[in-house]
Amino acid sequence: MTIGVVLPVYNQEPAYIHECLGAMEKQVYRDYKLIIVIDGANEETAEAVYNASSILTIPYRIIYRKKNMGIAYSLNEGFSYLKDCPYLTWISIDNRQDPLFLLTFYNHIQQAPEDTVLLYSYYWLIDEKGQRFADETQWLQTMETLMNRNKEEILSICFVGASFLFRQSAFKKAGGYDTSYGVVSDYEFWIRLMEQGNIQLIRHTLMEYRVNSALSLTTITGAQGLYLQSMKASLDHRKKRKDIPDVTVLITTHNHGAYIGKCLDSVLKQTHSNIHVVAIDIGSTDDTLQQITNRNDPRVIPLHIASGVKAEALNAGLEYVLGKYVLEMDGDAWLDERAVETMLFDFERLDKSYGLVYANKRIWYDNPSSGLQKGPEIKGVHYTNKYHALTGGASHSPRMFRKSILEKLDGWPAELNGEALLASDYMMFLRIADAYKMNWIDVVLYHERKYEEENITADQKLYNTQLRAVVQHQLQVWGNEMFPEFKMDGDAIVQISLV
């Protein structure tokens, strides 16, 4: 047989099992055999597999294992029975294959250069009822944007999708699937497979990929889990490839679809290019995350968390930092093109007692009718001691940290007095000032967007309440040698004095 197909099976709806195997029976290309691996599935699922497979007229084999060993183990087990097949693929039990699925891949692999190890194609998204999510024109544009990439970009996003064919020889050289990567072992395998040769995108929709059903991976693991685990696998391979940047830029963003493009442009076009960009989306409901993942640059590491305050997002991102230094910024701001170069140069001339370098920022007022209006320059301050830093009441931007010090401090403080902390930037600034030196660069390197002034929001009121709590907490940590006085303008703290 020319093509070997593995179908791993865990608990699934019987109707989906019948649809999947029915689609395989309808394949126009017949020179293939199928290995079905029942991976510790429940009795209802196993019975449905045996019933549905009775219609098959191609060679097939069912391996029924009572113990669940996971997707990677099942795939390796299945492919071990297909060593005589020069081409391999695998399918999911809740997906549906187009009748031309195998034939199209076979025809293209016959014409492809010998160094082409992987073919992959467009696919449809379907819901739990088997209905497609989008019209054809819109979806094909989405597929092209997502999937038409250089193979190096596999370190930033899994763009292969659900429909593919690869060479047996490349599978063996790559070493099969690694069981230690769990639900993202397929993504980790693509990284190693692409090291064996080139890839080719087939612009035909050959698969219907089901999402959001009760037992689908997208439901059980969720988007956050898949992003975080995938990028952990990517991180392992970046280390193996010695893809270690001088600086990692951490971007936190929420519903910044109108601004994240400008932010990313400013970072990726830095004069110092040896950087990584860890962009953490915090539960955006607009296209922020899509814009991040659409970036065709392997330096970008996109992450997604469903919810949380900024500090929680930064701490999640810190786990993906390989650079010696960390520059932190917001998703609606942008950098001067020499920001990384300037701050890195300053840090490299300082000794290890320095934990933070910061510079000046320019305010830009975002007016819906007139657009961006240039505002004032906000200068930093050369602080003489930690109390001076505390009375400043600011954290300054941009901020570049020494990664080792962030790790010693266990990252950004995410709560205070049992409450999620909005004033984490200021508290982090004080923690640095307490134990390390800081250096101010007197030049504008950061551009901050301010929106049309409205009434003080509930978050702003909470921020000022927490600012007071942070001051009192930090003074207590420092031994209560001084006591604070706050000058207010309504609900806002405008000045902090110590007595």
pLDDT (tens digit per residue) in 381-437 = 999 999 999 999 888 999 999 999 999 999 999 999 999 998 999 999 999 999 999
> What share of the chain has pLDDT > 90, as a percent?
87
pLDDT in tens, 308-326: 999 999 999 999 999 999 9
Q: Which of 191, 225, 259 is the last residue of a domain?
A: 225
**Is residue 143 one of the residues assigned to a domain?**
yes
Q: What is the pLDDT of residue 161?
A: 94
Q: Is the pLDDT of residue 141 over 90?
A: yes
Q: What is the pLDDT of residue 226?
A: 86
Q: Does 305 lie in the same domain as 216? A: no
Q: What is the pLDDT of residue 39?
A: 97
**Is residue 236 one of the residues assigned to a domain?**
no
Q: What per-residue string of b and e applies to 115-138 under the rule 16 or more CB within 10 Å gives b? A: ebbbbbbbbbbbebeeeeeeeeee
Q: Does 196 lie in the same domain as 283? A: no
Q: Does 221 lie in the same domain as 139? A: yes
Q: Is the pLDDT of residue 107 over 70?
A: yes
**Is residue 280 one of the residues assigned to a domain?**
yes
Is 0.85 topped by the overall pTM? yes
Number of domains in the chain: 2
pLDDT in tens, 359-397: 999 999 998 888 899 999 999 999 999 999 999 988 899
**Is residue 20 one of the residues assigned to a domain?**
yes
Average pLDDT over residues 83-96: 97
Q: Does 219 lie in the same domain as 254? A: no
Average pLDDT over residues 192-196: 98
Q: Does 358 lie in the same domain as 283? A: yes
Average pLDDT over residues 453-480: 82
Structure-model confidence comparison of residues 134 and 332, the more confident one: 332
Given a contact cutoff of 8 angstroms between Cβ atoms, the answer to whether 226 and 216 are in contact is no
Q: Does 178 lie in the same domain as 317? A: no
Q: Does 220 lie in the same domain as 125? A: yes
Q: Cα 190 vs. chain centroid, distance in angstroms?
A: 17
How would residue 221 be classed by pLDDT, with cut points 50, 70 and 90? low
Q: Does 298 lie in the same domain as 197? A: no
**Is residue 371 one of the residues assigned to a domain?**
yes
Q: Which of 225, 253, 276 is the last residue of a domain?
A: 225
Q: What is the pLDDT of residue 215?
A: 65
Kindly report which listed range (131-135, 190-194, 274-278, 452-456) carries the lowest average pLDDT score.
452-456
Average pLDDT over residues 192-210: 97
Average pLDDT over residues 272-278: 98
Q: What is the pLDDT of residue 278?
A: 98
Q: Does 159 lie in the same domain as 13? A: yes
How would residue 294 be classed by pLDDT, with cut points 50, 70 and 90? very high
Q: What is the pLDDT of residue 453?
A: 60
How would residue 220 be classed by pLDDT, with cut points 50, 70 and 90? low
Q: What is the pLDDT of residue 227?
A: 86
**Is residue 473 one of the residues assigned to a domain?**
no
Average pLDDT of the chain, as a whole number: 94
Q: Does 118 lie in the same domain as 82? A: yes
**Is residue 491 one of the residues assigned to a domain?**
no
pLDDT in tens, 438-450: 999 999 999 999 9
Q: Does 291 lie in the same domain as 154? A: no
Q: Is the pLDDT of residue 456 over 90?
A: no
pLDDT in tens, 22-35: 999 999 999 999 99
Q: What is the pLDDT of residue 224?
A: 81
Q: What CATH number corresponds to the domain at position 194?
A: 3.90.550.10
pLDDT in tens, 62-77: 999 999 999 999 999 9
Q: Does 53 lie in the same domain as 166? A: yes
Q: Which of 163, 197, 225 is the last residue of a domain?
A: 225
Q: What domain range includes position 55?
A: 3-225
**Is residue 481 one of the residues assigned to a domain?**
no
Q: What is the pLDDT of residue 368?
A: 82
